[in-house]
Amino acid sequence: MARSIASAGEAIALPANNSPAPQGRGRSAPDLGTRRGDRVGLSVGVVLAAVALQSTLTWAARAQSFAERVAPCLACHGGEGQSSLPNVPSLGAQPAPYALIQLYLFRGRQRRVEVMNEATKDFSDDDLKTFSDFIATLPAPKPTPGEPAEQGRIERGQVLVRQHRCDFCHNPDLAGRDNVPRLAGQREDYLIKSLSEYKANTRPGYDASMADVLARVTEGEILDLAYFLARQP
């Protein structure tokens, strides 16, 4: 593209009139065509410089390796697929189609989380696919070791999973599939936050199924669900 613009600039810079300059009172009249061509040529030169600078910056951004680009993501969400930060989800083994949809929603600010909106604002469609495919390759998160699980809460969580058919959409092992997320081993605090947002209808989704399901679930049941899901392998 720069070559074609440069050629145009050279053509524009040529004198508009190649005939001898008119004479008047013994002095040559100024060649207005040449001066005009010089001004246009200068303008084209400025445009070319701007285009070259922009191209350099664009290529520099593209030259950044994927490892460098994904490093900030892993710093928050965990390099091994498991987050250690409060209310920040573990991404390990999330299905690629689900991750892609979430990145798309973040990029378009349909899902509002400022740090994610900022991180994805310049993503191309290819970036969305590259990052979501990578997320799917991260190892699945493991239940956080700690005190022995309260059996009563585990049993209540199991009943709720079957009652609301979580194990149908999210798979019997709760590992998710296609555009349905993995729930097993997710951070308990993040699960409480997400389920509560769905219940309050403040978290956008690509369909209304989660809001419909959570409308019938009490706040106490959300706590038992999150407790159970976070402790599944």
Per-residue pLDDT tens over the stretch 59-69: 445 558 999 99
Q: Which amino acid is at 179?
A: N
- From the list 180, 170, 147, the residue with the least C-alpha distance to 229 is 170
Instruction: Give the distance from CA 94 to its chain's centroid.
Output: 15
**pLDDT (tens digit per residue) in 91-114:** 999 999 999 999 999 999 999 999
Backbone phi and psi for residue 157, each to the nearest 5 degrees, phi listed first: -65, -40
CATH class of 142-233: mainly alpha
- For the cut 80, the answer to whether the pLDDT of residue 192 exceeds it is yes
SS3 43: helix
- From the list 210, 98, 199, the residue with the least C-alpha distance to 164 is 210
Q: Looking at residue 91, what is its pLDDT?
A: 98
Instruction: Indicate if 142-233 has the same CATH topology as 64-141.
Output: yes
Q: If phi over 0 gives left and psi between -120 and 50 gives alpha, with beta otherwise, what is residue 87? A: left
* Angstrom distance (rounded) from CA 68 to CA 149: 39
**pLDDT (tens digit per residue) in 154-168:** 999 999 999 999 999
- For the cut 50, the answer to whether the pLDDT of residue 23 exceeds it is no
What is the CATH topology of the domain spanning 64-141? Cytochrome Bc1 Complex; Chain D, domain 2 (1.10.760)
- For the cut 70, the answer to whether the pLDDT of residue 36 exceeds it is no
- From the list 59, 57, 128, 74, the residue with the least C-alpha distance to 98 is 128
pTM above 0.75, yes or no: no
Q: Which residues pair with 23 in a beta bridge?
A: 28
Q: Burial level of 78, CB count in 10 A (0-12/13-18/19+)?
A: buried
Query: In the chain, where are the structural domains located?
Result: 64-141, 142-233
